[in-house]
Amino acid sequence: MEKRPVDKFLRIEAVAMTFQTRNGSFAALRDIDLTVKKGEFVTLIGHSGCGKSTLLNLVAGLLKPTEGLLICAEREIAGPGPERAVVFQNHSLLPWLSCFDNVHLAVERVFGATEKKADLKRRTQAALALVGLMHAEHKMPHEISGGMKQRVGIARALSMQPRVLLLDEPFGALDALTRAHLQDELLKIVAATGSTVVMVTHDVDEAVLLSDRIVMLTNGPAATIGEVLTVELPRPRDRIELEEDARYHHHRAAVLEFLYRRQMRQAA
């Protein structure tokens, strides 16, 4: 459908973000330029507080940049919308709705106009099944663990079949086993749907395992893109086979080098 080539699906052009706070203005991001291809998986990595969530919220349209322009599918990002689904860093489930209803709210919004009630219900259950939570559909958010809440948040985003999936440390609160399982699921879902993904993470292994490109941010304030690493590992990727792959370790080392040598975090 796009007239322009698909390799400029999401464009971030000369973006800067300055927050007006009580103690004056705070420059969080400057000179951000990034282009994401359709179907590409990009992770943002950097130390805590450098501005990863800010950049993701700019793409989501939840924040407006103080300078520059963001474009998605040839249209300026003027505000948030269901075609750019967000998994929030703190899950953001509505505590008065059951897990089912939390997901259903999103499904209803996106497909309610065109599909029958039974189909909406089926979609909701399918999304919950995808994250392994069919058994908890009638539970309220306060009755489930932190990891389960995060999975409901992921189910809610996936259920909308967004063009761009924005994930803010979606696996941060999970134990290692669940995290590995959901990473694999995410890889499968993305391969099947061809979604474009922008994901924030702290975790170097996760970044290398999942991404086509890793965008490394410098430390704030006024953070910017320090380096972009293209991950040249064939897909589908298998976490156990990757352990044997020299390129995997090479990429890991490159990211670690950036984070812990070049962007050593100053003791606060």
Partner 1 sequence: MTSAIATLRPFAVNLEPEVAAANEPATRSPAAGPVATLDARAAEVVAAKAVAIAERARLRRGRARAIVLALLPPLLGFALFISAWGLFSQTTGSLPSPAKTWTSAVDLFSHPFYQKGPNDQGIGWNILSSLRRGGIGFGFAALVGLPLGFVFGRFAFANAMASPIISLLRPVSPLAWLPIGLMAFKAANPAAIWVIFISSIWPMIINTAVGVQRVPQDYLNVARVLNLSEWKIMTRILFPAVLPYTLTGVRLSLGVAWLVIVAAEMLTGGVGIGFWVWDEWNNLNVEHIIVAIFVVGIVGLLLEQLLLLLARRFNYD
Ligand X SMILES: Nc1ncnc2c1ncn2[C@@H]1O[C@H](COP(=O)(O)OP(=O)(O)OP(=O)(O)O)[C@@H](O)[C@H]1O
Q: Which of 2, 6, 48, 90 binds partner 1 (CB under 8 A)?
A: 90
CB of 177 closer than 8 Å to CB of 146: no
Cα maximum dimension of the chain: 56
Q: Which stretch binds ligand X (CB under 6 A): 48-56, 144-152, 241-249, 256-264?
A: 48-56
Q: Which of 1, 3, 22, 95 binds partner 1 (CB under 8 A)?
A: 95
49 contributes a contact to ligand X by CB under 6 A? yes
Region label for 126, one of left (φ > 0), alpha (ψ between -120 and 50) or beta (otherwise):
alpha
Q: Is the Cβ of residue 28 or residue 103 nearer to ligand X in the bound state?
A: 28
Nearer residue to partner 1 within complex by CB, 140 or 191: 140
How far does the chain reach from its first CA to its final CA, in angstroms? 49
Pattern of binders to ligand X over 108-147, x per CB under 6 A? ----------------------------------------
Backbone angles phi, psi at 168, to 5 degrees: -105, 100
173: left (phi over 0), alpha (psi -120 to 50) or beta: alpha
Determine the size of the site formed for partner 1 (CB under 8 A).
24
Q: Which of residues 150-189 bind partner 1 (CB under 8 A)?
A: 160
Residues 19-38 that bind ligand X (CB under 6 A): 19, 21, 26, 28
Provide the H-helix boundaries in the chain: 52-60, 99-111, 117-130, 146-159, 176-193, 204-210, 239-242, 246-257
Closer to partner 1 at the Cβ: 159 or 263? 159
69 vs 63: CA distance, rounded Å: 12
Question: Applying CB under 6 A, what is the total number of residues that bind ligand X?
Answer: 14
Question: Tokens representing 7?
Answer: 């390799």
Which of 36, 45, 50, 110 is in the footprint of ligand X by CB under 6 A? 50
Q: Given the rule CB under 8 A, which residues bind partner 1?
A: 60-62, 79-82, 84-86, 88, 90, 92, 94-97, 105-106, 109, 140-142, 160
